[in-house]
Amino acid sequence: MSNPNMRHGIFLAPLHAVDENPNSLIHRDLELMEWLDKLGFDEAWIGEHHSGGFETIASPELFIAAAAERTKTLRFGTGVISLPYHQPLMVANRIIQLDHQTRGRVMFGFGPGLLVSDAAMLGIDPKKQRDRMAESLDVILRLLAGETVTEKTEWYNLVNARVHLMPYTQPRPEIAVASAATPSGGKLAGKHNLMMLCVAATDPRGGFNVLDVNWKVAMDSAAEHGNIMNRNKLRLMGPMHIAETREKARENVRFGLAKYIEYARTLTPGRYGDFGSRDPVDVMLDSGHIVIGTPDDAIKVLEQLREKQGHFGGFLHQAHDWADWEQTKKSYELYMRFVVPHFSGANARRDESYDEWKAHSVEFSDASHAAAQATFAKFGKADQAEAAGQQTGMIGVKG
């Protein structure tokens, strides 16, 4: 079943191996935004990280400000701002400024902060991150609504705080909460009627398995607070690399897949299980929800997500460097050429027209041939008479 409103984008953490020039990587990420905009992608979510080495963007707002100047229609989301790391008034003001600079092309995504090492450098107990996220969000929503806030907690103090610009987008930019395996994201999404970013939708460790559970959590929370969750606001994320053939896709990802897996297993020891002597590509594909293959394989995985989750509003590629730069760009191109039309129904009328021709091919061909023959018969006699007259005239001249 087609979904013409389904949006397609990427989630750029980013994920870059530590052996490349970091300056080049930042500029290549900006170039990627231009490529996605040219291809017609809908949105790009940009992450915030401060440790680990791979995820090199510390300020999604700075990156978005630059990327917006290079693009025309691509929408940008902070994916995500880690709220426990920031004073809430500062976050509200930065989002409002971006909303104005982009004239409404920015979305505010937030989360508790993914990397424990980030929180450690800031002296934040990881057990407090989700509570702090909820505290900060409540304040930010009030500030975006134009309220004046006085509130003191153990980690921030606001005295008659207010924003001096109201958002460009009314009543406010779209706001999204990151959701992985725990129910905290779903609870906040339902309570405040927010978008949900399911950042582990294809993760074999549990993200895929709890998609429907976390959505139910969000719906129950929404009902409790008088809201109704909108499936068009749901984003599912997963990694994929697409090529013309499965063999070529496997060959392409030899470039960087091993480095990606090593980083993932550094963050989460034991992730993907025991490889032994197995091909890492086969280990990734065993989950059944990760794509290293063709556009048809990508369609199959998205259909699996829809079967598990039901209707959802958008799919986000987890951006990565499994393949080299040119093959990575090609993967996004193939996705837009062959995967997106399957879900948008863009070719429905073309298919109907083509199928009609196939069903009546002989009939239509015979009719066309008969019409041509009739035309030859009609005009052939006149042409012959004209030719005969011209010949007679020429003979007379010679005589």
Span 319-376, pLDDT tens digits:
999 999 999 999 999 999 999 999 999 999 999 999 999 999 999 999 999 998 888 8
- Sheet strands (E) in 33-102: 43-46, 75-78, 81-82
Write phi, then psi, for 116 (nearest 5 degrees): -60, -30
Residue 192, exposed/middle/buried by CB under 10 A (0-12, 13-18, 19+)? middle
* Least reliable range by pLDDT among 110-114, 183-187, 343-347: 183-187
Respond yes or no on whether the N-terminal peptide bond of residue 204 is cis (omega within 30° of 0).
no
pTM score, whole prediction: 0.91
Tens digit of each residue's pLDDT (9 = 90 or more) over 217-257? 999 999 999 999 999 999 999 999 999 999 999 999 999 99
Helix (H, G, I), strand (E, B) or coil at 54: coil
The C-alpha atoms of residue 341 and residue 319 are separated, in whole angstroms, by 21
